[in-house]
């Protein structure tokens, strides 16, 4: 798999348009469109989704950036002028999820909309957006794994290689692995929502819980292959956050499950 010759897609006068930003924005548009399609299939008003999307996306970007800044605080204390990243670089998916979900919960509460039902619908589009956005890492030659001789290994230029792998040329394209897994998660969620959400045992929030568990598990596995992880203590930060997603999703599913009521018959 070749790497791009430049992270810049094209220029408009002095303005540089980067591949990373294009992939992120395309992911947002396609993911929102998929969620809107699912909303219509479920009998929901997709206009609410389009109204909320710009605010939720902004909150997700802020959350993604803040999380990255916290993890790289030592760097940003020496370079405070780089805290505001106008080129959509230095973003984290975990931070985006926290910021986006929290913002959407607030919007639903203000508008009187059922948060869990809408969260299920939106989760059908989120992994689609993630799958497309991950290709921004390919454009920046980042978020790759350890060296490999496999034919689909991605070629990384010397200036982007980790110091300990300076002589290696090809690496595991972990961004590709996560992109494929995200599309599989999206397919599972869409199928579940369209075929099981009307069953008697279904509870709003199940699709959200399923996404949290599935993505948390996928990210744990893929993170173990990466060479550029950000750390919290002895483990990569993604381990902690992915573990939290798995635990949170499992807890949500258990909380939502139907409860049996034991009735005592009167003599």
Domain boundaries along the sequence of the chain = 17-256
The pairing of strands 235-236 and 231-232 is antiparallel
CA–CA gap between residue 167 and residue 158 (Å, rounded): 8
- Specify the DSSP class assigned to residue 148: -
Q: For the chain, how are helix, strand and coil distributed in percent, rounded to 5?
A: 65, 5, 30
Q: Which positions of the chain have pLDDT values less than 50?
A: 86, 88, 261-267
CB neighbour burial string for 106-136, b if at least 16 within 10 angstroms, e if fewer: ebbeeeebebbbbbbbbbbbbbbbbbbbbbb
pLDDT of residue 156: 93
Among residues 264, 262, 218, the alpha carbon closest in space to that of 238 is found at 218
CA–CA gap between residue 24 and residue 6 (Å, rounded): 17
Number of Cα atoms under 13 Å in the Cβ half of residue 100: 21
pLDDT of residue 259: 67
CA–CA gap between residue 133 and residue 25 (Å, rounded): 8
pLDDT of residue 82: 64
Using the Cα atoms of residue 66, residue 68, residue 72 and residue 77 in order, give the sign of their dihedral: negative
pLDDT of residue 267: 46
Among residues 169, 253, 191, the alpha carbon closest in space to that of 216 is found at 253
Q: How far is CA 115 from the centre of its chain?
A: 19
């Amino acid at each position: 798999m070749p790497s791009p010759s430049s992270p810049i897609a094209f220029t408009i006068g002095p303005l540089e348009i980067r591949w990373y930003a294009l992939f992120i924005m395309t992911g947002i548009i396609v993911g929102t469109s998929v969620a809107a399609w699912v909303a219509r299939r479920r009998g929901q008003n997709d206009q609410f989704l389009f109204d909320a999307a710009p605010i939720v996306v902004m909150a997700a970007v802020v959350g993604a950036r803040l999380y990255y800044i916290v993890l790289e605080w030592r760097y940003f204390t020496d370079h405070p002028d780089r805290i505001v990243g106008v080129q959509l670089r230095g973003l984290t998916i975990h931070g985006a999820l926290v910021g986006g979900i929290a913002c959407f919960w607030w919007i639903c509460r203000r508008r009187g909309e059922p948060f869990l039902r809408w969260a299920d619908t939106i989760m059908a589009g989120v992994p689609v957006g993630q799958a497309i956005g991950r290709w921004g890492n390919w454009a920046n030659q980042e978020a790759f794994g350890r060296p490999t001789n496999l034919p689909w290994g991605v070629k990384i230029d010397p200036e982007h290689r980790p110091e300990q792998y300076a002589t290696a040329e090809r690496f595991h394209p972990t961004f590709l692995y996560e992109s494929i897994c995200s599309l599989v998660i999206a397919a599972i969620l869409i199928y579940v929502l369209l075929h099981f959400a009307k069953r008697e045992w279904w509870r709003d929030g199940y699709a959200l819980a399923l996404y949290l568990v599935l993505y948390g598990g996928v990210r744990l596995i893929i993170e173990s292959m990466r060479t550029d992880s950000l750390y919290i203590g002895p483990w990569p930060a993604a381990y902690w956050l992915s573990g939290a997603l798995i635990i949170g999703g499992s807890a949500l599913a258990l909380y939502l499950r139907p409860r049996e009521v034991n009735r005592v018959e009167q003599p």
